[in-house]
Amino acid sequence: MKDKKTKLNIPENKVFEKIEKKIYPRGRTFEGIVKKKFHKRVVIEFERMIYVKKYERYTKSRTRIHARLPESMEKEINVGDLIKVQECRPLSKMIHFIVIKKIKSISEVK
């Protein structure tokens, strides 16, 4: 039985190396502020508006997302920075996103 290998046309700068496998970003993208930073992981938070049908008004809601922080970007991203994350395959129980790029630093956000 032969293994069928599919080749994806994804640019090399969009592929992030893991220890034994590659991570391909795909799906939804979000921008948010880094609230917590851990080893190889960050927590970002952003606000969104949710429509409440009963009252015919909108309410603000905060969403927190856990994202994988690549080792190449670990030194340049700090708490308070505005970053962009993109969906990828599930990497753990909580982590389903990966950090793509840093948009603004903490001094530029304020």
Q: Which fold has domain 17-109?
A: OB fold (Dihydrolipoamide Acetyltransferase, E2P) (2.40.50)
The answer to whether residues 75 and 102 touch, using CB atoms and an 8 Å cutoff, is no
Mean pLDDT of the chain: 85
Arithmetic mean of pLDDT, 45-68? 97
What pTM did the predictor assign?
0.76
Instruction: Judge whether residue 3 has pLDDT over 70.
Output: no
Instruction: Judge whether residue 78 has pLDDT over 90.
Output: yes
Arithmetic mean of pLDDT, 12-21? 56
Pairwise CA distance, residues 97 & 60, whole Å: 23
Chain-centroid distance, C-alpha 88: 9
